[in-house]
A = this chain, B = another copy of it.
Amino acid sequence: MPEYVQVQVAVDGRATAAALARSVVSAGLAACAQAVGPMTSVYRWKGEIETAEEFLLLVKTTRERSGELIEHIRREHPYETPEIIALPVVGGLGAYLRWIDEETARVPLQP
């Protein structure tokens, strides 16, 4: 897994998205979280094709904190088996990536 990841979470609505975004940033497990939506999700559940309106949360963090972040989201998410996936970040603006490090560091980084 590369140094930084974008964790992607599907949630059931705007309010859940906002609460989860605030929760992961407040806990210091993510530098930021963006709620995109509404979107239309199509999936099969118990043999039937289902459609639901959801929101997508895009959460930026480091590889090091991603396990704790995924567990934190699982605990707070209203679904039993929510979509929580991690996509790799393989590059970007150096100053922004360092900001992700600073915002998710267990101990404040030396300037």
Chain A residues in the interface with B (C-beta under 8 A): 1-2, 4-8, 10, 14, 17-18, 21-22, 25-26, 31-37, 39-44, 49, 51, 54, 56, 58, 60, 66, 70, 73-74, 81-93, 95-97, 99, 103
Contacts and interface: CB of A to CB of B under 8 A. Distances in A.
B49 A5 contact: no
A2 B14 CA distance: 31
8 nearest CB pairs, A to B: A32-B43, A86-B91, A85-B92, A21-B42, A84-B93, A36-B39, A35-B40, A34-B41
A92 B84 contact: yes
Given A36-B39, A86-B89, 13 more contacts: A4-B85, A14-B40, A22-B42, A25-B43, A26-B44, A32-B43, A32-B83, A34-B40, A60-B85, A83-B92, A84-B92, A85-B93, A86-B92
